Structure 1
């Protein structure tokens, strides 16, 4: 297996402006992905994603912010080195009355993991995005349909 990147694409019945908020603001991310998040949506901003009662805390760094079409961040640092981390990118494209969301996560081979750990981490992230990308779509759709 290559382990180069993970790509997921979905269509959401919400505008790119709404979807951008959903993927780039901590209060929204904590509704579909993490239990908590703390960061500013500005290039170079440092923050964190939190799961459980701080059982898992993952530092992150915002890379690109181009409302309402692109948001990316690095996370899963190797020994605190941002350059040796995974890059997650959300590309948002208007599609009819909604938005096509394309998520890409890259950098697995660059992490320097031995083969078994690389395979395990890649598999865990595939399973994670298979769960959380549909949640992202459902959450965004709920936001625009709520009275």
Structure 2
């Protein structure tokens, strides 16, 4: 994959509609992705995420809404100024399978930044997604 893309595939023991709601509603996102979330679920809409424990927040622009199969947004690359035009694309694809949902996450576009910034952002987001996806599974399992 190199340092431009992060890809994760997880199998969740929940129907695709439940996983979709966890990814695309403020209530769902607030339970596993940061501390608080707001979302205007439409292409061109904005999503706001806050992590109180990290004292950090992020604003994303939604690019794809194809319920309940695909959801994507662009957000800032960590380490660049907030007004920098460079953004990574976070793309979730949901596939129904017999025992639940196969969720594929791809975040790409880190190479737009200088090599040192791209490397650090890629590493931080890789660790972040590994943690967040465990949190997603825990939230869905607890809510079942």
Q: How high is the TM-score relative to the length of structure 2? A: 0.88
Matches of 1:92 and 1:48, distance apart in 2 = 22
Determine the structure 1 residue equivalent to 2:93: 91
Matches of 2:99 and 2:90, distance apart in 1 = 25
Q: Give 4+ residue runs of structure 1 displaced > 4 Å after superposition.
A: none
What are structure 2's unaligned runs of at least 5 residues? none
Cα RMSD, aligned residues only:
1.9
How big is each residue's C-alpha offset from its partner over 1:22-73, in whole Å with a ceiling of 9 and x where there is no partner?
A: 0111211111111111121111102311111893221111111111111111
What are structure 1's unaligned runs of at least 5 residues? none
Determine the structure 1 residue equivalent to 2:110: 108
Number of residue-to-residue matches in the alignment: 141
Matches of 1:88 and 1:97, distance apart in 2 = 25
Do the aligned residues in 1 keep the contact of 2:91 with 2:107 (CA within 8 Å)? yes
How big is each residue's C-alpha offset from its partner over 1:88-126, in whole Å with a ceiling of 9 and x where there is no partner?
A: 11100011030000011011002x2x3222211111111
1:5 aligns with 2:5: yes
Offset of residue 21 of structure 1: 0.5
Q: How high is the TM-score relative to the length of structure 1? A: 0.87
Q: For structure 1, which segment, 121-130 or 51-60, has the greater mean C-alpha deviation from structure 2 after superposition?
A: 51-60
1:57-76 equivalent positions in 2, closer than 5 A: 57-76=57-76
